[in-house]
């Protein structure tokens, strides 16, 4: 809530001069927020709570995560005209972005599911700066897995950690000896040998980074041959897109993660129209 208020302040500057000059302060209006494209709606709850906190009656006509057709009214709002016109753009920007992400996520999840794979579709930390909470919530509403929230809720050892330290086993020993029992440990590896080493030393999750589907298959075979596939999750990441996702799902990994569902999703076209004026 606090955060949406900050977005608003930034947008408004010293006040919405157009509205102040043209709309009398006493007018109450009824307005509708309409999705002009079909897709998965996300952000309704944030929008409704925010609207109520600034004095509007707001009723959601669809629930977050619902699939809607184009021209669907998603929220009805009654309240002060000046305030509504001043917050309109901020509200729509949030709904459009979150719904765009949910829609793209959902298309990928369905593509994988309909093809018969059980692979989870996850996002990465490639979010818009400052919007991590909203972007990840949209992924969840689209049916995706949110992965890490902060840098402190999973130990994820990446390529640059290895470049600095050099030895995978040394790092893993250090980590498993000191990290809180409440955290999982994930290791990003760039070749099958390292994947084996990670699995042996006690990683909970192994991320195969920038592997081609064939390279993934070879690593999976190796892991199974050594009896290390059980009790470990395998995540494929890097270069995976809505287009090629099935090739990766087909390798048998547990999770595929895609940066583009959060950093390159098309915004859903959503607009607000005043439908009734109640002069006071």
Among 161, 213, 215, 217, the residue binding a second copy under the rule CB under 8 A is 161
Q: Of 69-77, 105-113, 169-177, 215-223, which part binds a second copy (CB under 8 A)?
A: 169-177
Residue (68 or 253) nearer to a second copy, CB = 253
Query: For residues 107-126, which are near a second copy according to CB under 8 A?
Result: 120, 122, 125-126
Q: Of 70-78, 141-149, 191-199, 243-251, which part binds a second copy (CB under 8 A)?
A: 141-149
Among 135, 178, 124, residue whose Cα is nearest residue 155 = 178
Helix/strand/coil percent split, the chain, to 5: 45, 20, 35
Other CB atoms within a 10 A radius of the CB of residue 260 amount to: 16
Six token digits for residue 150: 């902060």
Among 38, 59, 128, 214, the residue binding a second copy under the rule CB under 8 A is 128
Six token digits for residue 199: 């699995």
Q: Decide if 147 contacts 122 (C-beta within 8 A).
A: yes
Among 134, 141, 189, 211, the residue binding a second copy under the rule CB under 8 A is 134
How far apart are the C-alpha atoms of 71 and 80, rounded to whole Å? 25
Tell me: does residue 132 bind a second copy (CB under 8 A): yes
Q: Of 69-77, 105-113, 170-178, 214-222, which part binds a second copy (CB under 8 A)?
A: 170-178
Q: How far is the CB of 116 from a second copy (least distance, A)?
A: 19
Contact flags string 70-109 toward a second copy, x per CB under 8 A = -----------x--xxx-xxx-xxx-xx--x---------
Q: How far is the CB of 29 from a second copy (least distance, A)?
A: 6
Other CB atoms within a 10 A radius of the CB of residue 231 amount to: 7
Among 69, 114, 118, 150, the residue binding a second copy under the rule CB under 8 A is 150
Tell me: does residue 180 bind a second copy (CB under 8 A): yes
Q: Decide if 54 contacts 8 (C-beta within 8 A).
A: no
Tell me: does residue 178 bind a second copy (CB under 8 A): yes
Residue (9 or 214) nearer to a second copy, CB = 9
Tell me: does residue 168 bind a second copy (CB under 8 A): no
Six token digits for residue 92: 């729509």
Among 40, 112, 155, 208, the residue binding a second copy under the rule CB under 8 A is 155
Residue (3 or 111) nearer to a second copy, CB = 3
The helix (run of H) or strand (run of E) holding residue 33 is strand 28-35
Q: Where would I find the beta strands (DSSP E) of 199-251?
A: 205-209, 233-237
The DSSP code sequence of 44-103 is HHHHHHHHHHTT-EEEESS-TT-EE-TTEEEEEEEEEHHHHHHHHHHHHHHHHHHHHHHH
């Amino acid at each position: 809530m606090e955060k949406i208020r900050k977005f608003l302040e930034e947008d408004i500057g010293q006040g919405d001069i157009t509205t102040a000059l043209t709309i009398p302060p006493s007018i109450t209006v009824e307005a509708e927020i309409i999705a002009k494209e079909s897709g998965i709606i996300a952000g309704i709850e944030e929008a409704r709570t925010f609207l109520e906190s600034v004095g509007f009656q707001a009723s959601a006509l669809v629930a977050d995560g619902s699939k809607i057709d184009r021209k669907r009214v998603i929220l009805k709002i009654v309240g002060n005209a000046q305030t509504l016109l001043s917050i309109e753009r901020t509200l729509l920007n949030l709904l459009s972005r979150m719904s765009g992400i949910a829609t793209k996520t959902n298309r990928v999840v369905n593509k994988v599911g309909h093809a018969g794979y059980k692979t989870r579709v996850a996002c990465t930390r490639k979010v818009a700066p400052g919007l991590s909470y909203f972007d990840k919530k949209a992924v969840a509403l689209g049916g995706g897995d949110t992965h890490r929230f902060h840098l402190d809720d999973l130990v994820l050892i990446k390529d640059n950690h290895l470049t600095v330290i050099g030895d995978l086993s040394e790092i893993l020993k250090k980590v498993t000896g000191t990290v809180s029992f409440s955290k999982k440990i994930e290791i990003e590896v760039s070749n099958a040998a390292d994947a084996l080493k990670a699995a042996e030393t006690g990683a909970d999750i192994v991320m195969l980074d920038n592997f081609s589907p064939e390279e993934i298959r070879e690593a999976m075979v190796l892991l199974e041959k050594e009896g290390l596939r059980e009790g470990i999750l395998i995540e494929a990441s890097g270069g995976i897109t809505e287009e090629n996702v099935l090739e990766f799902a087909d390798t048998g990994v547990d999770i595929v993660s895609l940066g583009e569902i959060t950093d390159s999703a098309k915004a859903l076209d959503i607009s607000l129209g005043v439908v009734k004026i109640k002069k006071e």
